[in-house]
Amino acid sequence: MSKRTKDIDTISAHIKHRIEKGLTELIDPSEIYALFPKTSETTTKGKIKDAMDQNFHFVGLVASIFPRTETILNATEKELGSPVVGETLVQANKIAKKLVDTLTNSFIKKFCESSLGNDFDKTTDKISTSFQKLNSQLLIPYKEYLTQLDSAIVSIAGKLNQSLFVRALRNSGFSDEQKNRTFSETGKKSEGDIKIYHVGTGKGGNKILNIEAKSYAARERLLRGLTDIQNPKVGVGFFNDPTEFSRARVQLLVTSAQAQAVYMPLQTYTALTAEAKKVAHTSTGRVCRILESEFTQDMTAFKVKGEIPYINPHE
């Protein structure tokens, strides 16, 4: 048995002991760090996440320690009751977001309890204290804590949403194994976030579709990201603000960024103006497309034929 495995077992035993004793307080990570005084906190944090990978019910029991993206995806599919595919992407996103939000709120509550002691009523979640104590014991230390927490959340959010797209592709028959690769994650500025491969013969030859993946907001980042990557290209995201896709903005995505399509949730697409829905690309037709029903299907079509299906923008 390797040292890492022994350490993970030690952490698991420590957490299980707390559970068996009926202790409901979140475990302060320093309590686990103390078990390995000669090991860096960063290394031990990784082992805590390993323990969460193996025992999902440990998630949320150690304050400020978020599980790995893969662990969240597995938990999401378990609650979803099926593998994530194109049709369930939006539902899976909501489940994953709720999990992360629940953990975040729990960690912040723990921080308030630890900082304010008896001035924080755990039953009512109400704070009763002087401004001076509130400022010195909570607000000032919270700035540093929130910076650390925000960094973790931002990292998880971007990675999690992209990983949902990747999981949906993989569950739809795509492979990123070198011998039979039909897609890959890149992250390089000129290549987007995900690449879809078409293996062709004759004059057409091999083709690559570059995908720019975003979370909820398009803003200027979608246009900028699409502009930077190579053709052919598409954008995809859990975009939740239809006003970001006015006719003029969608037209700009086509003329300036040369995007062939942008995939968004059905709820967002339905709220678009008729004019925005009619904006077309010369090769692919309707630019604004529905994430749940068209994303993985279009990617599969590109994999097989080397092009995204044409959709009449006036239908």
Taking only the tens of pLDDT, the chain with its 315 residues reads: 798 999 999 999 999 998 998 888 889 899 999 999 999 999 999 999 999 999 989 998 998 888 999 999 999 999 999 999 999 999 999 999 999 888 888 888 877 777 777 777 777 778 888 888 777 777 777 666 666 665 666 667 668 899 999 999 999 999 998 888 999 998 665 667 999 999 877 666 799 999 999 989 888 889 999 999 999 999 999 999 999 999 999 999 999 999 999 999 999 999 999 999 999 999 999 999 999 999 999 999 999 999 999 999 988
Residue 104: the pLDDT is: 85
Tell me, yes or no, whether 230 and 212 share the same domain.
yes
Residues 109 and 248 reside in one and the same domain: no
203 domain-assigned: yes
Q: Which of 154, 171, 188 finishes a domain?
A: 171
Rounded CA-CA distance 256/300 in Å is 26
* Residues 153 and 271 occupy one common structural domain: no
Q: How many structural domains compose the chain?
A: 2
Q: Based on the domain organization, do 147 and 199 belong to the same domain?
A: no
Indicate the pairing of strand 233-236 with strand 207-213.
parallel
Among candidate residues 171, 193, 225, the one where a domain is terminated: 171
Asked whether residue 206 is domain-assigned, the answer is yes
Residues 18 and 133 in one domain: yes
Give yes or no: residues 123 and 71 share one domain.
Answer: yes
Same domain, 29 and 112: yes
The residue type found at 276 is A
Same domain? 34 vs 124:
yes
Whether 129 is in a domain gets the answer yes
Please check whether residues 160 and 251 belong to one and the same domain.
no
What's residue 134's pLDDT? 76
- Comparing C-alpha atoms, which of 310, 237, 244 is closest to residue 280? 310
CB contact burial 22-42 (16+ within 10 A = b; e otherwise) = eeeebbebeebbeeeeeeeee
Q: What is the pLDDT of residue 124?
A: 79
User: If you count DSSP H runs as helices and E runs as strands, how many of each does the chain have, helices first?
Assistant: 12, 10
Q: CA-based diameter of the chain, in Å?
A: 77
pLDDT given for residue 86 in this prediction: 96
Contacts 24+ apart (CB under 8 A), 107-111: 107/26, 107/63, 107/64, 107/149, 108/149, 110/26, 110/63, 110/64, 111/63, 111/64, 111/142, 111/145
Gap between the Cα atoms of 308 and 285, Å rounded: 10
Three-state DSSP at 32 gives helix
Encoded amino acid at 17, one letter: H
Q: Classify residue 137 by burial, with Cβ atoms within 10 Å: 0-12, 13-18, 19+.
A: middle
312 belongs to a structural domain: no
Euclidean distance between CA atoms 89 and 170, whole angstroms:
13
Identify the domain containing residue 100 by its residue range: 3-171
User: What does residue 211 show for φ and ψ, rounded to 5 degrees?
Assistant: -115, 130
Determine, yes or no, domain membership for 233: yes
Same domain, 45 and 166: yes
**Residue 173 falls in which region: left (phi positive, over 0), alpha (psi -120 to 50) or beta:** left
* Domain end marker among 121, 151, 171: 171
Q: Are residues 195 and 296 in the same domain?
A: yes
Q: Within this chain, do residues 296 and 147 fall inside the same structural domain, yes or no? A: no
